[in-house]
Structure 1
Amino acid sequence: MIALIEQHPQLISLGLVLILTMALLWLIQYLLIRYGKCVLALLSRGDLWLREHIARLPLMVRLQHQYPALFGFITKRFARGHFSGLILTVLTFLNIYILALFAGLIEDVVEADSIVTTDLFVSQHMSVLQDSTIVPAFVFITSLGSTPITCVIILLTAILCAVVRQPYILIGLLISTIGSTTFTFLSKMIFQRARPIDILLMEHTYSFPSGHATISIALYGFLAYMAIRFSQSFIRQVRILSLTILLCLLIGLSRIVLNEHYLSDVMGGFLVGTLWLIIAISMMEWLTARGKIDWGVLWSKGQISLVWLSVITVFVATFIFANMYQFPLLG
Protein backbone atom coordinates (compact mmCIF):
# COMPACT_ATOMS: atom_id res chain seq x y z
CA MET A 1 0.00 0.00 0.00
CA ILE A 2 2.80 2.38 0.94
CA ALA A 3 4.63 1.51 -2.27
CA LEU A 4 1.49 2.28 -4.30
CA ILE A 5 1.15 5.68 -2.65
CA GLU A 6 4.83 6.45 -3.29
CA GLN A 7 4.53 5.47 -6.97
CA HIS A 8 1.27 7.33 -7.68
CA PRO A 9 0.95 10.22 -5.19
CA GLN A 10 -0.94 12.44 -7.65
CA LEU A 11 -3.52 9.74 -8.42
CA ILE A 12 -3.99 9.04 -4.72
CA SER A 13 -4.43 12.77 -4.00
CA LEU A 14 -6.92 13.14 -6.85
CA GLY A 15 -8.84 10.09 -5.68
CA LEU A 16 -9.01 11.43 -2.14
CA VAL A 17 -10.30 14.78 -3.41
CA LEU A 18 -13.06 13.02 -5.38
CA ILE A 19 -14.01 10.73 -2.51
CA LEU A 20 -14.11 13.55 0.04
CA THR A 21 -16.10 15.78 -2.33
CA MET A 22 -18.72 13.11 -3.01
CA ALA A 23 -18.87 12.16 0.68
CA LEU A 24 -19.41 15.82 1.65
CA LEU A 25 -22.11 16.28 -0.99
CA TRP A 26 -23.83 13.07 0.14
CA LEU A 27 -23.74 14.25 3.77
CA ILE A 28 -25.18 17.66 2.86
CA GLN A 29 -27.86 15.99 0.74
CA TYR A 30 -28.74 13.63 3.59
CA LEU A 31 -28.97 16.45 6.12
CA LEU A 32 -31.09 18.58 3.77
CA ILE A 33 -33.50 15.73 3.05
CA ARG A 34 -33.70 14.75 6.73
CA TYR A 35 -33.82 18.16 8.39
CA GLY A 36 -34.23 20.71 5.56
CA LYS A 37 -37.95 21.33 5.94
CA CYS A 38 -37.69 21.58 9.72
CA VAL A 39 -34.85 24.09 9.46
CA LEU A 40 -36.77 26.15 6.89
CA ALA A 41 -39.84 26.20 9.14
CA LEU A 42 -37.70 27.22 12.11
CA LEU A 43 -36.05 30.00 10.09
CA SER A 44 -39.46 31.22 8.96
CA ARG A 45 -40.72 31.45 12.54
CA GLY A 46 -37.48 33.11 13.61
CA ASP A 47 -37.82 35.62 10.79
CA LEU A 48 -41.34 36.57 11.90
CA TRP A 49 -40.24 36.95 15.52
CA LEU A 50 -37.22 39.06 14.48
CA ARG A 51 -39.37 41.35 12.32
CA GLU A 52 -41.82 41.95 15.17
CA HIS A 53 -38.99 42.56 17.64
CA ILE A 54 -37.18 45.03 15.35
CA ALA A 55 -40.43 46.88 14.57
CA ARG A 56 -40.88 47.62 18.31
CA LEU A 57 -37.39 49.04 18.81
CA PRO A 58 -37.41 52.77 19.73
CA LEU A 59 -34.98 53.55 16.89
CA MET A 60 -37.27 51.96 14.31
CA VAL A 61 -40.32 53.73 15.76
CA ARG A 62 -38.55 57.12 15.51
CA LEU A 63 -37.37 56.31 11.98
CA GLN A 64 -40.93 55.47 10.95
CA HIS A 65 -42.24 58.79 12.25
CA GLN A 66 -39.37 61.05 11.16
CA TYR A 67 -38.57 59.48 7.77
CA PRO A 68 -41.68 57.62 6.61
CA ALA A 69 -40.55 57.42 2.95
CA LEU A 70 -37.16 55.91 3.84
CA PHE A 71 -38.74 53.55 6.35
CA GLY A 72 -41.27 52.44 3.75
CA PHE A 73 -38.55 51.82 1.17
CA ILE A 74 -36.50 49.71 3.59
CA THR A 75 -39.58 47.79 4.71
CA LYS A 76 -40.51 46.94 1.12
CA ARG A 77 -36.97 45.69 0.41
CA PHE A 78 -37.33 43.09 3.17
CA ALA A 79 -41.00 42.24 2.64
CA ARG A 80 -41.85 38.63 1.92
CA GLY A 81 -44.26 37.37 -0.70
CA HIS A 82 -43.24 39.42 -3.74
CA PHE A 83 -40.18 39.55 -5.97
CA SER A 84 -39.16 43.18 -5.37
CA GLY A 85 -38.96 42.52 -1.63
CA LEU A 86 -36.77 40.04 0.22
CA ILE A 87 -36.10 37.86 -2.85
CA LEU A 88 -34.55 40.70 -4.85
CA THR A 89 -32.65 41.97 -1.81
CA VAL A 90 -31.05 38.56 -1.15
CA LEU A 91 -30.16 38.07 -4.83
CA THR A 92 -28.64 41.56 -5.01
CA PHE A 93 -26.49 41.06 -1.91
CA LEU A 94 -25.36 37.68 -3.25
CA ASN A 95 -24.19 39.26 -6.49
CA ILE A 96 -22.38 42.05 -4.65
CA TYR A 97 -20.61 39.44 -2.52
CA ILE A 98 -19.64 37.37 -5.58
CA LEU A 99 -18.33 40.47 -7.35
CA ALA A 100 -16.23 41.25 -4.29
CA LEU A 101 -14.81 37.71 -4.28
CA PHE A 102 -14.04 37.94 -8.01
CA ALA A 103 -12.32 41.31 -7.53
CA GLY A 104 -10.25 39.85 -4.70
CA LEU A 105 -9.27 36.87 -6.86
CA ILE A 106 -8.25 39.18 -9.71
CA GLU A 107 -6.08 41.19 -7.32
CA ASP A 108 -4.33 38.01 -6.12
CA VAL A 109 -3.70 36.80 -9.67
CA VAL A 110 -2.45 40.17 -10.95
CA GLU A 111 -0.16 40.78 -7.97
CA ALA A 112 1.21 37.19 -8.12
CA ASP A 113 0.01 36.46 -4.61
CA SER A 114 0.10 33.07 -2.88
CA ILE A 115 -2.72 31.83 -5.14
CA VAL A 116 -0.28 31.91 -8.09
CA THR A 117 2.20 29.75 -6.17
CA THR A 118 -0.61 27.30 -5.49
CA ASP A 119 -1.56 27.38 -9.17
CA LEU A 120 1.94 26.42 -10.25
CA PHE A 121 2.21 23.71 -7.59
CA VAL A 122 -1.07 22.08 -8.64
CA SER A 123 -0.25 22.40 -12.35
CA GLN A 124 3.13 20.70 -11.91
CA HIS A 125 1.52 17.80 -10.07
CA MET A 126 -1.23 17.40 -12.66
CA SER A 127 1.31 17.30 -15.51
CA VAL A 128 2.50 13.94 -14.12
CA LEU A 129 -0.93 12.46 -14.94
CA GLN A 130 -0.64 13.08 -18.69
CA ASP A 131 -0.15 9.37 -19.45
CA SER A 132 -2.59 8.17 -16.81
CA THR A 133 -5.59 5.98 -17.64
CA ILE A 134 -7.91 8.53 -16.01
CA VAL A 135 -7.26 11.12 -18.73
CA PRO A 136 -9.93 9.78 -21.18
CA ALA A 137 -12.60 9.99 -18.45
CA PHE A 138 -11.74 13.62 -17.75
CA VAL A 139 -11.64 14.40 -21.47
CA PHE A 140 -15.24 13.16 -21.70
CA ILE A 141 -16.22 15.22 -18.64
CA THR A 142 -14.56 18.37 -19.97
CA SER A 143 -16.38 17.88 -23.30
CA LEU A 144 -19.66 18.52 -21.44
CA GLY A 145 -18.54 22.14 -21.13
CA SER A 146 -17.43 22.56 -24.74
CA THR A 147 -19.11 25.05 -27.06
CA PRO A 148 -20.70 22.48 -29.44
CA ILE A 149 -22.25 20.50 -26.59
CA THR A 150 -23.55 23.59 -24.80
CA CYS A 151 -25.15 24.75 -28.06
CA VAL A 152 -26.85 21.36 -28.41
CA ILE A 153 -28.14 21.63 -24.83
CA ILE A 154 -29.48 25.14 -25.40
CA LEU A 155 -31.25 24.00 -28.58
CA LEU A 156 -32.82 20.99 -26.83
CA THR A 157 -33.88 23.18 -23.90
CA ALA A 158 -35.52 25.62 -26.32
CA ILE A 159 -37.48 22.73 -27.85
CA LEU A 160 -38.59 21.55 -24.40
CA CYS A 161 -39.70 25.06 -23.44
CA ALA A 162 -41.74 25.26 -26.65
CA VAL A 163 -43.31 21.86 -25.96
CA VAL A 164 -44.46 22.87 -22.46
CA ARG A 165 -45.39 26.36 -23.74
CA GLN A 166 -43.08 28.31 -21.45
CA PRO A 167 -41.03 30.37 -23.94
CA TYR A 168 -40.09 33.08 -21.44
CA ILE A 169 -37.74 30.62 -19.72
CA LEU A 170 -35.42 31.02 -22.71
CA ILE A 171 -34.78 34.63 -21.68
CA GLY A 172 -33.13 33.48 -18.46
CA LEU A 173 -31.23 30.71 -20.24
CA LEU A 174 -29.80 33.13 -22.80
CA ILE A 175 -28.95 35.74 -20.16
CA SER A 176 -27.06 33.15 -18.13
CA THR A 177 -25.16 31.55 -21.02
CA ILE A 178 -24.55 34.47 -23.38
CA GLY A 179 -23.93 36.94 -20.56
CA SER A 180 -21.40 34.69 -18.81
CA THR A 181 -19.69 33.74 -22.08
CA THR A 182 -19.32 37.39 -23.13
CA PHE A 183 -18.06 38.38 -19.67
CA THR A 184 -15.52 35.54 -19.75
CA PHE A 185 -14.31 36.45 -23.25
CA LEU A 186 -13.80 40.09 -22.29
CA SER A 187 -12.01 39.07 -19.09
CA LYS A 188 -9.65 36.84 -21.07
CA MET A 189 -8.88 39.73 -23.40
CA ILE A 190 -8.23 42.10 -20.50
CA PHE A 191 -5.97 39.86 -18.38
CA GLN A 192 -4.37 37.81 -21.19
CA ARG A 193 -3.07 35.18 -18.82
CA ALA A 194 -1.13 32.39 -20.51
CA ARG A 195 -2.29 28.81 -20.04
CA PRO A 196 -0.21 26.19 -18.19
CA ILE A 197 2.85 24.91 -20.07
CA ASP A 198 1.97 21.19 -20.02
CA ILE A 199 -1.47 21.62 -21.57
CA LEU A 200 -3.02 18.40 -22.95
CA LEU A 201 -5.73 19.72 -25.27
CA MET A 202 -4.39 22.64 -27.25
CA GLU A 203 -6.44 25.81 -26.76
CA HIS A 204 -6.00 29.14 -28.51
CA THR A 205 -7.65 31.41 -25.94
CA TYR A 206 -6.26 32.91 -22.75
CA SER A 207 -6.51 31.21 -19.39
CA PHE A 208 -8.31 33.47 -16.89
CA PRO A 209 -11.13 32.81 -16.20
CA SER A 210 -12.00 29.29 -17.32
CA GLY A 211 -14.79 29.28 -19.90
CA HIS A 212 -15.69 25.66 -19.14
CA ALA A 213 -16.00 26.38 -15.41
CA THR A 214 -18.10 29.46 -16.21
CA ILE A 215 -20.52 27.68 -18.53
CA SER A 216 -20.83 24.70 -16.18
CA ILE A 217 -22.40 26.96 -13.55
CA ALA A 218 -24.25 29.26 -15.96
CA LEU A 219 -25.79 26.48 -18.09
CA TYR A 220 -26.10 23.42 -15.86
CA GLY A 221 -26.93 25.61 -12.89
CA PHE A 222 -29.79 27.18 -14.83
CA LEU A 223 -31.03 23.77 -15.96
CA ALA A 224 -30.99 22.67 -12.32
CA TYR A 225 -32.94 25.81 -11.38
CA MET A 226 -35.53 24.93 -14.04
CA ALA A 227 -35.80 21.33 -12.83
CA ILE A 228 -36.11 22.42 -9.19
CA ARG A 229 -38.77 25.00 -10.06
CA PHE A 230 -40.79 22.48 -12.07
CA SER A 231 -40.42 19.74 -9.44
CA GLN A 232 -42.97 19.39 -6.64
CA SER A 233 -40.86 17.01 -4.53
CA PHE A 234 -38.46 18.50 -1.97
CA ILE A 235 -36.33 15.32 -1.98
CA ARG A 236 -36.02 15.43 -5.76
CA GLN A 237 -35.09 19.10 -5.62
CA VAL A 238 -32.27 18.41 -3.16
CA ARG A 239 -30.95 15.54 -5.28
CA ILE A 240 -31.01 17.66 -8.43
CA LEU A 241 -29.05 20.37 -6.62
CA SER A 242 -26.40 17.98 -5.29
CA LEU A 243 -25.95 16.21 -8.64
CA THR A 244 -25.57 19.54 -10.42
CA ILE A 245 -22.96 20.75 -7.94
CA LEU A 246 -21.05 17.48 -8.43
CA LEU A 247 -21.20 17.84 -12.23
CA CYS A 248 -19.95 21.44 -12.12
CA LEU A 249 -17.12 20.49 -9.77
CA LEU A 250 -16.11 17.60 -12.04
CA ILE A 251 -16.04 19.86 -15.12
CA GLY A 252 -13.93 22.39 -13.22
CA LEU A 253 -11.65 19.62 -11.93
CA SER A 254 -11.25 18.25 -15.47
CA ARG A 255 -9.74 21.57 -16.58
CA ILE A 256 -7.14 21.28 -13.81
CA VAL A 257 -6.38 17.59 -14.35
CA LEU A 258 -5.91 18.12 -18.09
CA ASN A 259 -3.76 21.19 -17.30
CA GLU A 260 -5.99 23.38 -19.43
CA HIS A 261 -6.28 25.91 -16.61
CA TYR A 262 -4.84 26.89 -13.28
CA LEU A 263 -6.82 26.45 -10.10
CA SER A 264 -7.54 30.18 -9.85
CA ASP A 265 -8.87 30.16 -13.44
CA VAL A 266 -11.48 27.60 -12.46
CA MET A 267 -12.34 29.49 -9.28
CA GLY A 268 -12.80 32.67 -11.32
CA GLY A 269 -14.97 30.82 -13.83
CA PHE A 270 -17.19 29.47 -11.07
CA LEU A 271 -17.65 32.99 -9.68
CA VAL A 272 -18.48 34.48 -13.10
CA GLY A 273 -20.93 31.67 -13.83
CA THR A 274 -22.62 32.12 -10.46
CA LEU A 275 -22.86 35.87 -11.00
CA TRP A 276 -24.74 35.48 -14.29
CA LEU A 277 -26.80 32.57 -12.99
CA ILE A 278 -28.12 34.79 -10.19
CA ILE A 279 -28.92 37.53 -12.71
CA ALA A 280 -30.82 35.00 -14.84
CA ILE A 281 -32.69 33.61 -11.81
CA SER A 282 -33.62 37.17 -10.83
CA MET A 283 -35.11 37.70 -14.28
CA MET A 284 -37.01 34.40 -14.03
CA GLU A 285 -38.46 35.27 -10.65
CA TRP A 286 -39.49 38.71 -11.95
CA LEU A 287 -41.21 37.16 -14.96
CA THR A 288 -42.86 34.62 -12.67
CA ALA A 289 -44.18 37.41 -10.46
CA ARG A 290 -45.65 39.06 -13.57
CA GLY A 291 -47.42 35.82 -14.53
CA LYS A 292 -45.29 35.13 -17.62
CA ILE A 293 -44.02 31.74 -16.39
CA ASP A 294 -46.08 28.93 -14.90
CA TRP A 295 -43.92 26.49 -12.94
CA GLY A 296 -46.94 24.39 -12.01
CA VAL A 297 -47.18 22.79 -15.45
CA LEU A 298 -48.24 19.15 -15.35
CA TRP A 299 -45.82 17.20 -17.51
CA SER A 300 -47.27 14.41 -19.63
CA LYS A 301 -45.50 11.06 -20.08
CA GLY A 302 -44.56 12.09 -23.60
CA GLN A 303 -42.94 15.30 -22.38
CA ILE A 304 -41.03 13.45 -19.66
CA SER A 305 -39.86 10.94 -22.26
CA LEU A 306 -38.65 13.87 -24.38
CA VAL A 307 -36.58 15.10 -21.42
CA TRP A 308 -34.87 11.72 -21.04
CA LEU A 309 -34.36 11.50 -24.80
CA SER A 310 -32.67 14.92 -24.65
CA VAL A 311 -30.37 13.74 -21.85
CA ILE A 312 -29.39 10.65 -23.86
CA THR A 313 -28.83 12.83 -26.94
CA VAL A 314 -26.46 15.08 -24.99
CA PHE A 315 -24.39 12.16 -23.73
CA VAL A 316 -24.22 10.59 -27.20
CA ALA A 317 -23.22 13.94 -28.73
CA THR A 318 -20.58 14.39 -26.02
CA PHE A 319 -19.18 10.92 -26.69
CA ILE A 320 -19.00 11.61 -30.44
CA PHE A 321 -17.43 15.05 -29.93
CA ALA A 322 -14.84 13.69 -27.49
CA ASN A 323 -13.84 10.86 -29.83
CA MET A 324 -13.81 12.88 -33.05
CA TYR A 325 -12.28 16.12 -31.80
CA GLN A 326 -10.88 15.93 -28.27
CA PHE A 327 -9.15 12.54 -28.15
CA PRO A 328 -7.11 13.15 -31.34
CA LEU A 329 -5.57 16.19 -29.62
CA LEU A 330 -4.02 13.87 -27.03
CA GLY A 331 -1.89 12.23 -29.66
Structure 2
Amino acid sequence: MRQRKIEHHLSRAFLLSLLFAVLFGLMAYLVHKSLVHSFDQHVISFVQGFETPQITALMKFLSWIGSGTIVLILAIISLLVFRKILMHRSEVILYVSVVLGSAILNQILKSLFHRSRPSLHRLANATGFSFPSGHSMEAVAFYGILAFILWRHTPTSWGRGLLIFFSTLMILGIGISRIYLGVHYPSDVLGGYLCSICWLALSIWHYQRSKDKEASALDEEKTKLGSPKSSI
Protein backbone atom coordinates (compact mmCIF):
# COMPACT_ATOMS: atom_id res chain seq x y z
CA MET A 1 0.00 0.00 0.00
CA ARG A 2 2.80 2.43 0.90
CA GLN A 3 4.56 1.68 -2.38
CA ARG A 4 1.39 2.39 -4.35
CA LYS A 5 0.97 5.76 -2.62
CA ILE A 6 4.57 6.67 -3.43
CA GLU A 7 4.15 5.71 -7.07
CA HIS A 8 0.91 7.70 -7.32
CA HIS A 9 2.56 10.77 -5.77
CA LEU A 10 5.54 10.54 -8.10
CA SER A 11 3.31 10.05 -11.15
CA ARG A 12 1.44 13.25 -10.32
CA ALA A 13 4.69 15.18 -9.94
CA PHE A 14 6.01 13.87 -13.24
CA LEU A 15 2.75 14.69 -15.02
CA LEU A 16 2.92 18.23 -13.62
CA SER A 17 6.39 18.73 -15.10
CA LEU A 18 5.17 17.24 -18.39
CA LEU A 19 2.20 19.63 -18.43
CA PHE A 20 4.42 22.69 -18.05
CA ALA A 21 6.78 21.34 -20.69
CA VAL A 22 3.87 21.14 -23.12
CA LEU A 23 2.70 24.65 -22.18
CA PHE A 24 6.19 26.02 -22.70
CA GLY A 25 6.38 24.27 -26.06
CA LEU A 26 3.10 25.92 -27.05
CA MET A 27 4.35 29.34 -25.96
CA ALA A 28 7.64 28.80 -27.81
CA TYR A 29 5.70 27.90 -30.97
CA LEU A 30 3.54 31.03 -30.70
CA VAL A 31 6.63 33.19 -30.20
CA HIS A 32 8.42 31.55 -33.12
CA LYS A 33 5.42 32.12 -35.39
CA SER A 34 5.01 35.73 -34.15
CA LEU A 35 1.47 35.02 -32.93
CA VAL A 36 1.81 36.81 -29.58
CA HIS A 37 2.19 40.40 -30.78
CA SER A 38 -1.32 41.50 -29.79
CA PHE A 39 -1.07 39.79 -26.39
CA ASP A 40 2.32 41.37 -25.70
CA GLN A 41 1.23 44.86 -26.67
CA HIS A 42 -1.93 44.79 -24.57
CA VAL A 43 -0.13 43.56 -21.46
CA ILE A 44 2.76 46.02 -21.90
CA SER A 45 0.32 48.92 -22.28
CA PHE A 46 -1.55 47.84 -19.16
CA VAL A 47 1.55 47.35 -16.98
CA GLN A 48 3.32 50.52 -18.11
CA GLY A 49 0.11 52.46 -17.61
CA PHE A 50 0.90 52.44 -13.87
CA GLU A 51 4.19 54.28 -14.37
CA THR A 52 5.17 56.65 -11.59
CA PRO A 53 8.62 57.58 -10.22
CA GLN A 54 7.95 55.55 -7.08
CA ILE A 55 6.84 52.43 -8.94
CA THR A 56 9.77 52.77 -11.34
CA ALA A 57 12.18 52.79 -8.40
CA LEU A 58 10.49 49.70 -6.95
CA MET A 59 10.59 47.87 -10.29
CA LYS A 60 14.26 48.70 -10.78
CA PHE A 61 14.98 47.28 -7.34
CA LEU A 62 13.05 44.07 -8.09
CA SER A 63 14.83 43.76 -11.44
CA TRP A 64 18.19 44.29 -9.73
CA ILE A 65 17.54 41.71 -7.02
CA GLY A 66 16.49 39.25 -9.72
CA SER A 67 19.63 39.76 -11.83
CA GLY A 68 22.02 36.88 -12.36
CA THR A 69 24.81 38.33 -10.23
CA ILE A 70 22.58 39.09 -7.25
CA VAL A 71 20.81 35.72 -7.49
CA LEU A 72 24.20 34.02 -7.51
CA ILE A 73 25.31 35.96 -4.41
CA LEU A 74 22.03 35.22 -2.61
CA ALA A 75 22.24 31.57 -3.64
CA ILE A 76 25.77 31.21 -2.24
CA ILE A 77 24.88 32.98 1.02
CA SER A 78 21.71 30.96 1.55
CA LEU A 79 23.53 27.76 0.62
CA LEU A 80 26.21 28.39 3.24
CA VAL A 81 23.69 29.34 5.90
CA PHE A 82 21.21 26.55 5.27
CA ARG A 83 23.96 23.96 4.86
CA LYS A 84 24.89 24.57 8.48
CA ILE A 85 21.32 24.78 9.79
CA LEU A 86 18.84 22.86 7.66
CA MET A 87 20.11 21.12 4.58
CA HIS A 88 21.15 17.55 4.23
CA ARG A 89 23.59 16.57 1.50
CA SER A 90 20.81 15.55 -0.89
CA GLU A 91 19.08 18.91 -0.41
CA VAL A 92 22.31 20.74 -1.22
CA ILE A 93 22.63 18.80 -4.48
CA LEU A 94 18.99 19.52 -5.33
CA TYR A 95 19.42 23.22 -4.53
CA VAL A 96 22.52 23.65 -6.68
CA SER A 97 21.19 21.61 -9.60
CA VAL A 98 17.94 23.59 -9.77
CA VAL A 99 19.54 27.05 -9.63
CA LEU A 100 22.48 26.33 -11.93
CA GLY A 101 20.44 24.12 -14.23
CA SER A 102 17.88 26.86 -14.78
CA ALA A 103 20.59 29.38 -15.69
CA ILE A 104 22.23 26.98 -18.16
CA LEU A 105 18.88 26.03 -19.69
CA ASN A 106 18.01 29.71 -20.16
CA GLN A 107 21.20 30.42 -22.08
CA ILE A 108 20.62 27.42 -24.33
CA LEU A 109 17.06 28.48 -25.12
CA LYS A 110 18.01 32.11 -25.74
CA SER A 111 20.63 30.99 -28.26
CA LEU A 112 18.04 28.84 -30.02
CA PHE A 113 15.28 31.45 -30.35
CA HIS A 114 17.37 34.61 -30.95
CA ARG A 115 14.43 36.87 -30.12
CA SER A 116 15.22 40.58 -29.96
CA ARG A 117 14.16 42.60 -26.95
CA PRO A 118 11.38 45.21 -27.15
CA SER A 119 12.67 48.63 -28.12
CA LEU A 120 9.82 51.00 -27.18
CA HIS A 121 9.74 52.98 -23.93
CA ARG A 122 12.73 51.41 -22.22
CA LEU A 123 13.25 52.38 -18.59
CA ALA A 124 16.36 50.24 -18.12
CA ASN A 125 19.22 48.85 -20.16
CA ALA A 126 19.48 45.17 -21.06
CA THR A 127 21.52 43.15 -23.52
CA GLY A 128 21.25 39.70 -25.02
CA PHE A 129 18.29 37.84 -26.43
CA SER A 130 14.81 38.10 -25.01
CA PHE A 131 13.07 34.69 -24.95
CA PRO A 132 12.69 33.24 -22.40
CA SER A 133 13.29 35.76 -19.62
CA GLY A 134 16.35 34.83 -17.56
CA HIS A 135 15.14 36.88 -14.59
CA SER A 136 11.83 34.99 -14.58
CA MET A 137 13.48 31.59 -14.85
CA GLU A 138 15.96 32.29 -12.08
CA ALA A 139 13.24 33.75 -9.84
CA VAL A 140 11.19 30.56 -10.12
CA ALA A 141 14.24 28.35 -9.64
CA PHE A 142 15.74 30.27 -6.71
CA TYR A 143 12.61 31.15 -4.72
CA GLY A 144 10.85 27.95 -5.73
CA ILE A 145 13.56 25.60 -4.49
CA LEU A 146 14.06 27.68 -1.33
CA ALA A 147 10.33 27.40 -0.64
CA PHE A 148 10.39 23.64 -1.19
CA ILE A 149 13.37 23.03 1.11
CA LEU A 150 12.19 25.38 3.85
CA TRP A 151 8.68 23.89 3.60
CA ARG A 152 10.16 20.52 4.60
CA HIS A 153 11.59 22.10 7.77
CA THR A 154 8.64 24.35 8.65
CA PRO A 155 6.22 22.64 11.06
CA THR A 156 3.44 25.27 11.24
CA SER A 157 0.77 25.95 8.63
CA TRP A 158 1.04 29.72 9.05
CA GLY A 159 4.80 29.52 8.51
CA ARG A 160 4.33 27.52 5.35
CA GLY A 161 1.65 29.92 4.15
CA LEU A 162 3.95 32.90 4.73
CA LEU A 163 6.74 31.09 2.90
CA ILE A 164 4.57 30.44 -0.16
CA PHE A 165 3.22 34.00 -0.13
CA PHE A 166 6.71 35.56 -0.04
CA SER A 167 8.09 33.26 -2.74
CA THR A 168 5.11 33.89 -5.03
CA LEU A 169 5.32 37.63 -4.45
CA MET A 170 9.01 37.74 -5.38
CA ILE A 171 8.55 35.57 -8.47
CA LEU A 172 5.66 37.66 -9.78
CA GLY A 173 7.30 40.96 -8.82
CA ILE A 174 10.53 40.18 -10.64
CA GLY A 175 8.68 39.05 -13.75
CA ILE A 176 6.40 42.09 -13.83
CA SER A 177 9.38 44.41 -13.31
CA ARG A 178 10.91 43.19 -16.59
CA ILE A 179 7.72 44.05 -18.47
CA TYR A 180 7.34 47.39 -16.70
CA LEU A 181 10.92 48.41 -17.51
CA GLY A 182 10.42 47.55 -21.18
CA VAL A 183 13.24 45.00 -21.41
CA HIS A 184 11.07 41.91 -21.91
CA TYR A 185 7.85 40.99 -23.65
CA PRO A 186 5.14 39.43 -21.45
CA SER A 187 5.49 36.24 -23.50
CA ASP A 188 9.19 36.17 -22.51
CA VAL A 189 8.24 36.29 -18.85
CA LEU A 190 5.45 33.74 -19.21
CA GLY A 191 7.74 31.45 -21.19
CA GLY A 192 10.39 31.77 -18.49
CA TYR A 193 7.87 30.86 -15.80
CA LEU A 194 6.60 27.81 -17.68
CA CYS A 195 10.07 26.51 -18.51
CA SER A 196 11.49 26.99 -15.02
CA ILE A 197 8.44 25.50 -13.28
CA CYS A 198 8.86 22.45 -15.51
CA TRP A 199 12.53 22.18 -14.54
CA LEU A 200 11.74 22.74 -10.86
CA ALA A 201 8.97 20.13 -10.82
CA LEU A 202 11.13 17.61 -12.67
CA SER A 203 14.02 18.15 -10.26
CA ILE A 204 11.79 17.78 -7.21
CA TRP A 205 10.20 14.66 -8.74
CA HIS A 206 13.62 13.09 -9.21
CA TYR A 207 14.67 14.08 -5.68
CA GLN A 208 11.52 12.65 -4.09
CA ARG A 209 11.85 9.48 -6.17
CA SER A 210 15.39 8.96 -4.92
CA LYS A 211 14.41 9.64 -1.30
CA ASP A 212 11.44 7.27 -1.49
CA LYS A 213 13.63 4.53 -2.95
CA GLU A 214 16.11 5.02 -0.11
CA ALA A 215 13.29 4.87 2.44
CA SER A 216 11.85 1.71 0.89
CA ALA A 217 15.25 0.05 0.85
CA LEU A 218 15.78 1.00 4.50
CA ASP A 219 12.37 -0.39 5.48
CA GLU A 220 13.15 -3.67 3.71
CA GLU A 221 16.49 -3.88 5.49
CA LYS A 222 14.86 -3.27 8.86
CA THR A 223 12.24 -5.91 8.11
CA LYS A 224 14.93 -8.45 7.26
CA LEU A 225 16.93 -7.65 10.38
CA GLY A 226 13.83 -7.77 12.57
CA SER A 227 12.46 -11.06 11.26
CA PRO A 228 13.31 -14.19 13.30
CA LYS A 229 15.93 -16.48 11.82
CA SER A 230 14.68 -19.85 10.76
CA SER A 231 16.02 -22.76 12.80
CA ILE A 232 17.97 -25.50 11.08
Fold in common (TM above 0.5): yes
Alignment partner, residue 213 of structure 1: 136
The whole-number CA distance in structure 2 between the counterparts of 1:225 and 1:125 is 32
**Counterpart secondary structure, 1:134:** helix
**Post-superposition offset of 1:144:** 1.8
Identity %: 25
Distance 1:131 1:231, change over 3 A: closer
CA contact (8 A) 2:137 2:193 kept: yes
Distance 1:119 1:133, change over 3 A: same
Instruction: Output the aligned Cα RMSD.
Output: 2.2
The whole-number CA distance in structure 1 between the counterparts of 2:210 and 2:75 is 20
Choose from 20, 24, 40 the match for 1:102.
24
CA contact (8 A) 1:144 1:150 kept: yes
**Deviations 1:119-143 (CA, angstroms, capped at 9, x unpaired):** 1233355566666331111111111
Alignment partner, residue 136 of structure 1: 57
The whole-number CA distance in structure 1 between the counterparts of 2:50 and 2:125 is 16
The whole-number CA distance in structure 2 between the counterparts of 1:187 and 1:219 is 19
CA contact (8 A) 2:83 2:92 kept: no
CA contact (8 A) 2:139 2:174 kept: yes
**Deviations 1:55-91 (CA, angstroms, capped at 9, x unpaired):** xxxxxxxxxxxxxxxxxxxx96xx11x3xx1122011
TM-score when scaled to structure 2?
0.83
Alignment partner, residue 230 of structure 1: 153
2:78 aligned partner, one-letter code: T
Stretch moving more, 148-157 or 206-215: 148-157
Alignment partner, residue 54 of structure 1: none
1:163 and 2:84 matched: yes
Residues 55-204 of structure 1 correspond to what in structure 2 (within 5 A)? 79-80=4-5, 82=6, 85-113=7-35, 115-124=36-45, 132-164=53-85, 166-198=88-120, 199-204=122-127
CA contact (8 A) 1:193 1:207 kept: yes
The whole-number CA distance in structure 2 between the counterparts of 1:129 and 1:240 is 28
**Post-superposition offset of 1:205:** 1.0
2:59 aligned partner, one-letter code: F
The whole-number CA distance in structure 2 between the counterparts of 1:162 and 1:112 is 45
**Post-superposition offset of 1:226:** 1.1
The whole-number CA distance in structure 2 between the counterparts of 1:239 and 1:264 is 28
The whole-number CA distance in structure 2 between the counterparts of 1:236 and 1:133 is 30
- The structure with higher relative contact order (CA 8 Å, sep 6+) is 2
Return 5+ residue gaps in structure 2 as ranges. 216-232
Distance 1:234 1:288, change over 3 A: farther
Distance 1:227 1:104, change over 3 A: same
Structure (1 or 2) with the larger CA radius of gyration: 1
**Counterpart secondary structure, 1:194:** coil
Return 5+ residue gaps in structure 1 as ranges. 1-47, 49-74, 292-331
Alignment partner, residue 305 of structure 1: none
Choose from 186, 206, 228 the match for 1:283.
206
CA contact (8 A) 1:142 1:254 kept: yes
CA contact (8 A) 2:117 2:184 kept: yes
**Counterpart secondary structure, 1:168:** helix
